[in-house]
Amino acid sequence: MYHALPCDTAGEHALATIKNWIRECVIEHEECDDGSLRLLPKRILEIEGDKLLLREDRTEPAHYACLSHCWGANGPQQRLTHGSYEIHKEGLIIEILPPTFYDAVQLCKRLHLRYIWIDALCIVQDDFEDWNETAGLMAEIYSNAYITIGASGAMDCTRGLYTKLPMRPKELGNAPGLFVMPLSRPHDDFGTLPLPLLTRAWVFQEHVVSPRFLHFGPGFLLWKCRNTQCTETGDVSSQGWAPFFYNLLNNQFPEIASQALKILDKVHSWHRIIEGYSNLKLTYDTDRLAAISAVVYRHMKNRAGDRYIAGMWENSLLPDL
């Protein structure tokens, strides 16, 4: 007997899995965010029919999604600038959005989410002051999101969220009833999966502070919350994953940032974070400190009386150097 595990991350089976993960997280996980309505960021995108409208200073609390994605070599063609501001307020036609933005908006519709935050469309890209102000709010923006959608298998926003892979049967056993199951993954070892998003420095903090992070990889979904890290086939182990990503970005990261690494003190814990973060890529190296600001914010809660100074802490300057 064959049990077909779908490989289409855009399909109804995948959607049902996502909804179930969200439901379990919100209702059953005591350590996870309870899914209550939150204040919206200064700018947010409202999904209204066939348009995506830029909204400002909305005061009513609501659920919203964030999109985490790779910009690629040239970045998205569609961006918010001073010159395009009024056009964005009047509404962008969803059908002509870059594929990754389009897929994320359509997923929000299927999840009955009215709002989405996308950096390229919510930060004024030709205004350094606006960029600098928003960079300091990343912890708040991502931690208040109902869910963060990760275009984890895409090098840029032209690739979209979804992939569909052929099924290949794999025999698991021969007991009566059910024991042949399709191998629906391009790799048996999740540590070798090509996930360009996880090489980017900005996603480090997005992953850390988001209460729920949904990765769309090549033919698979990967769910991460503070309780669980799993795919459709079950929990993900540390085998094969880059150590800092498993240790720092798995479901226990909030505790790691809060001194839950029992074998390490605060100083060594910070060194582990910086060691992993330093290996990640940035389009602009000047973003290096800004891209870890949300991690600093979380770590600061357990360093009362200490002062953060450009990647180091006042009470441990010599070891940090």
What is the predicted pLDDT for the residue at 321?
A: 47
How sure is the predictor about 144, in pLDDT bands with cuts at 50, 70 and 90?
A: very high
> Is 104 a residue whose pLDDT tops 90?
yes
Residue 28's contacts (CB-CB under 8 Å, 6 or more residues apart) are: none
Q: Please tell me the predicted confidence (pLDDT) of residue 251.
A: 41
Instruction: List % helix, strand, coil for the chain (3-state, nearest 5).
Output: 35, 20, 45
Confidence of residue 200 (pLDDT cuts 50, 70, 90): confident
Who has greater pLDDT, 119 or 180?
119
CA distance 316 to 307: 10
Both tokens of residue 14?
A: 């995948």
What average pLDDT score do residues 202-206 get? 75
Give the alpha-carbon dihedral of 49, 221, 197, 269, to 10 degrees. 120
Mean pLDDT, residues 224-236: 80
- How much is the average pLDDT of 59-77? 92
CA distance 52 to 55: 9
More confident of the two residues 95 and 251? 95
Six-digit token string for 264 = 């390490």
Dihedral angle, C-alpha 58, 118, 140, 31, nearest 10 °? 110
Spatial separation of the C-alpha atoms in residues 218 and 190, rounded to whole Å: 11
What are the sequence ranges of the domains in the chain? Answer: 12-242
Note the pLDDT of residue 135.
85
- Per-residue pLDDT of 277-321, as tens digits, reads 555 555 555 555 555 555 555 544 555 555 545 545 555 544 454
Whole-angstrom Cα distance, residue 165 to residue 192? 17
Conformational region of residue 259, where left means phi above 0, alpha means psi within -120 to 50, and beta covers everything else? left
pLDDT level of residue 33 (50, 70, 90 thresholds): confident
